[in-house]
């Protein structure tokens, strides 16, 4: 709900209020974002404001005032929300409010960029029009608020109303000034095989904490999601502000403490390497940033984002459907397969009870290693004599669906496509482009290249019964042809993804980028699941999946049981623990199933039927992280159904110790006066005992042990 009372506008979500107002100079000031304020005496607002900031500072007021979208160079010398180079070579501007427009019942949509949509959720959008009389710069701010969520989705449009060209040097999607206080920043750092490692940093007075990524995609190294919290915040208490950018290109999240310990937080496209020239009446739209508030810790932030993303971001029809349980051949064969081998694996997958066989890299061109053929999307008949459609038919006859891997944004220098169109690779004229994994990136800022990619994928998917696609992107971006290029490329990626996923609405798409290098809300808008990491080791995955689950829904995290010793880190783990770790995501297998022992076959059959029992719960339930693998020797999480009748508990112990007594685990959010049966052990417990006294989890006496419970209410 959005209300305007005089110069004040109040946006109200489920338990939150976001209040801004215009002062006598026309400045757009920020008054409150936090717990809901049900009724306010707006006539007192100016007095309260001056009591807080003091009249003495009025000479230089904007430098201390909390603002909505601060300008640079006049009366606020903190970080601006945007920056322009005017035609006379200075960076100044000063925005004043021209108008507030309330778009009732609408979630704001940005052309070419993924955004939250309203679906059945009541929501409204506020548009604030700001204008600088001297430079004729117009800025429009958009704020969408949903009645049932504690989020505000923000974005901005920068419009040049002058006669001259201007250069936009930065434009954050949102800028939020938080009150004087002590704050921590929580972000995800990492690398290939170690994605989204949780990091927490106190932001001391005057300090700037910034995570910025300029690698082309959202990246393995830093994710476009941060939380700013009170220093006492944990999973269940404390004030937390989440910032999730719906964007898959270069990004930046900055928090800078000012002279009074107020904190200015900004998120958007990374200004480093960005610029956009705007001619008369040309406009630039930022991606959307979803800000979420919780007064009860990180867990509440997660549950909020999970519901919001599942219901109001992810467009695939698969979002609310259980996904086929799959076998992917990658770690089982890598490039070394024949049709016969694949069919053997598929036949065994069927016997085990799986639904889908996925053929990974190596099926096209002359690709027997990673040195060639990206761009040549024609089947390698030496390996697959009956082609993709013949193979799909054979796999379908076994009673399985068939899926494939593609990497459509790429081009190998050793490919027919490159020989025909060397200029289609991202490059700078006069320089040999840098190869990473022996490949270059297709220039998706060009319409003709986008069209080629759309047609190539359309052709593959139309000519065989392909029901699943793993969409990979295996390198970072170098050889940037011009400033601002990465954004234009990202718009091309979205165009291609949007057209293909709309053309094939029944196909299940999975995002991937050399593992989890592009796990972000932008990709989730098109693809309901994303491969979280090329590190498939069950124990490494505890951390990767734990932090990924903070913003992103558990069921969007693609997670496979692979061979032991693990191929990435050599760790030996039990099949039981590998499954326990993979249950916290979309479940599947990725190993040579023709080599399984009888005991492994029995266990896998049980795991598959168990996963079928928990799929809906993992897909739609509420997540409670109970013990963190970052802080403890354990990783324990619970997912509870919305009606509290079912709960899944997955627990892993990392290292064992002698004669160890573990703390009791207290479950969350059950019906206290009901009984639950643990389907795994057959034991019966009352909800209040599980929640208030807690239970001991009896781990095996070994490293990497696990316990899984599935609690179902008995009446």
| Interaction site with ligand GLA (CB under 6 A) | 330, 360-361, 370, 405, 472, 474, 512, 514-515, 531, 534
Q: Tell me, letter by letter, the H, E, C secondary structure of 3-60.
A: EEECCEEEEECCCEEEEEEECCCCCEEEEEEEECCCCCCHHHHHHHHHHHHCHHHHHC
Q: How far apart are CA 69 and CA 141, in angstroms?
A: 8
The two structure tokens encoding residue 393: 């038919």
Task: Report, in Å, the least distance between residue 331 CB and ligand GLA.
Answer: 8
**Of residues 144 and 474, the one with the C-beta less far from ligand GLA:** 474
Residues near 326 by beta carbon (within 8 Å), at least 6 away in sequence:
354, 355, 356, 357, 358, 403, 468, 588, 589
Catalytic residue among 76, 414, 472, 622, which?
A: 472
Q: How far apart are CA 280 and CA 530, in angstroms?
A: 41
**Of residues 123 and 593, the one with the C-beta less far from ligand GLA:** 593
C-beta separation of 572 from 337 below 8 A: no
**Of residues 238 and 362, the one with the C-beta less far from ligand GLA:** 362
Tracing tokens 């250069």 back to the chain, one arrives at 167
Of 11, 315, 254, 252, the residue nearest 153 (C-alpha): 11
**Of residues 155 and 474, the one with the C-beta less far from ligand GLA:** 474
Known active-site residue 631:
no
Catalytic residue among 534, 611, 622, 678, which?
A: 534
Of 363, 368, 371, 377, the residue nearest 416 (C-alpha): 377
**Of residues 85 and 436, the one with the C-beta less far from ligand GLA:** 436
The two structure tokens encoding residue 206: 């005057």
**Of residues 34 and 515, the one with the C-beta less far from ligand GLA:** 515
**Of residues 139 and 358, the one with the C-beta less far from ligand GLA:** 358
Task: Report, in Å, the least distance between residue 386 CB and ligand GLA.
Answer: 22
DSSP string, 417-448: HHHH-GGGB---TTSPPPPBTTBEEB-TTSHH
Name beta bridge partners: 622.
Answer: 640
C-beta separation of 522 from 551 below 8 A: no
Task: Report, in Å, the least distance between residue 552 CB and ligand GLA.
Answer: 17
Task: Report, in Å, the least distance between residue 244 CB and ligand GLA.
Answer: 23
DSSP H/E element including 602: helix 598-620
The two structure tokens encoding residue 93: 């501007």
Task: Report, in Å, the least distance between residue 655 CB and ligand GLA.
Answer: 28
Q: Which residue is nearest to ligand GLA (CB)?
A: 361
Q: How far apart are CA 352 and CA 597, in angstroms?
A: 12
Known active-site residue 472:
yes
Task: Report, in Å, the least distance between residue 516 CB and ligand GLA.
Answer: 8
C-beta separation of 62 from 27 below 8 A: yes
Task: Report, in Å, the least distance between residue 362 CB and ligand GLA.
Answer: 7
Which residues have a catalytic role annotated?
Answer: 472, 534
């Amino acid at each position: 709900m959005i209300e305007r009372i005089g110069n004040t506008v109040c946006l109200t979500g489920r338990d939150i209020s976001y209040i801004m107002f215009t002062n006598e100079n026309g400045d757009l000031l920020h008054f409150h974002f936090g717990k809901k304020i049900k009724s306010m005496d707006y006539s007192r607002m100016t007095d309260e404001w001056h009591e807080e900031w003091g009249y003495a500072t009025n000479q230089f007021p904007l430098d201390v005032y909390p603002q909505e979208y601060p300008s640079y160079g006049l009366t606020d010398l903190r970080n601006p929300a945007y920056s322009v180079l005017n035609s006379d070579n200075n960076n100044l501007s000063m925005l004043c409010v021209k108008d507030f427009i309330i778009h009732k019942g609408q979630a704001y949509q940005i052309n070419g960029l993924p955004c939250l949509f309203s679906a059945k959720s009541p929501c409204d959008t506020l548009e604030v029009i700001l204008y600088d009389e001297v430079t004729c710069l117009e800025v429009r701010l958009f704020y969408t608020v949903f009645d049932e969520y504690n989020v505000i989705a923000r974005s901005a449009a920068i419009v040049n109303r002058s006669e001259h060209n201007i250069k936009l040097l930065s434009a954050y999607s949102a800028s939020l000034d938080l009150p004087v206080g002590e704050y921590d920043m929580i972000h995800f750092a990492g690398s290939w095989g170690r994605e989204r490692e949780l990091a927490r940093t106190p932001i001391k007075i005057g300090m700037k904490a910034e995570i910025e990524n300029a690698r082309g995609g959202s990246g393995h190294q830093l994710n476009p999601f941060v939380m700013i919290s009170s220093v006492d915040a944990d999973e269940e208490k404390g004030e937390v502000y989440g910032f999730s950018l719906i964007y898959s290109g270069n990004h930046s999240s900055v928090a800078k403490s000012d002279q009074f310990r107020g904190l200015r937080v900004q998120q958007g496209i990374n200004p480093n390497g960005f610029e956009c020239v705007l001619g008369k009446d040309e406009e630039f739209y930022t991606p959307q940033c979803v800000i979420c508030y919780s007064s009860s810790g990180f867990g509440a932030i997660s549950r909020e984002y999970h519901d919001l993303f599942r219901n109001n971001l992810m467009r695939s029809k698969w979002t609310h459907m259980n996904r086929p349980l799959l076998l992917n051949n990658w770690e089982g064969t890598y490039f070394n397969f024949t049709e016969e081998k694949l069919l053997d694996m598929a036949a065994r997958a069927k016997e085990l009870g799986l639904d889908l066989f996925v053929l990974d890299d190596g099926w096209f061109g002359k690709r027997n290693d990673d040195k060639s053929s990206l761009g040549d999307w024609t089947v390698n008949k030496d390996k697959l004599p009956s082609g993709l459609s013949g193979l799909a038919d054979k796999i379908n006859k076994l009673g399985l669906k068939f899926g494939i891997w593609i990497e459509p944004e790429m081009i190998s220098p050793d490919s027919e496509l490159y020989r025909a169109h060397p200029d289609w690779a991202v490059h700078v004229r006069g320089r040999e482009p840098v190869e990473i994994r022996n490949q270059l990136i297709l220039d998706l800022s060009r319409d003709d290249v986008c069209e080629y990619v759309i047609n190539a994928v359309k052709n593959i998917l139309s000519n065989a019964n392909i029901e699943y696609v793993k969409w990979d992107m295996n390198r970072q971006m170098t050889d940037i042809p011009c400033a601002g290029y990465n954004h234009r490329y990202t718009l091309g990626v979205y165009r291609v993804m949007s057209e293909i996923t709309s053309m094939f609405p029944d196909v299940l798409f999975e995002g991937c980028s050399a593992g989890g290098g592009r796990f972000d809300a932008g990709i989730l808008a098109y693809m309901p699941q994303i491969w979280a990491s090329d590190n498939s080791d069950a124990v490494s995955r505890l951390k990767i999946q734990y932090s990924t689950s903070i913003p992103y829904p558990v069921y969007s995290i693609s997670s496979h049981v692979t061979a032991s010793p693990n191929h990435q880190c050599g760790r030996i783990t039990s099949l039981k623990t590998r499954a326990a770790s993979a249950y916290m995501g979309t479940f599947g297998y990725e190993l040579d199933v023709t080599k399984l022992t009888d005991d492994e076959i029995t266990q896998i059959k049980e795991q598959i039927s168990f996963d079928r029992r928990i799929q809906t719960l993992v897909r739609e339930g509420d997540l409670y992280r109970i013990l963190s693998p970052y802080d403890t020797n354990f990783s324990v999480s619970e997912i509870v159904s919305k009606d509290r009748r079912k709960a899944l508990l997955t627990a892993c112990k990392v290292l064992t110790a002698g004669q160890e007594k573990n703390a009791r685990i207290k479950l969350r959010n059950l019906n206290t006066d009901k009984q639950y049966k643990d389907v795994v052990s057959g034991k019966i417990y009352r909800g209040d005992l599980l929640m208030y006294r807690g239970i001991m989890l009896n781990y095996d006496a070994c490293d990497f042990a696990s316990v899984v419970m599935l609690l179902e209410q008995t009446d």
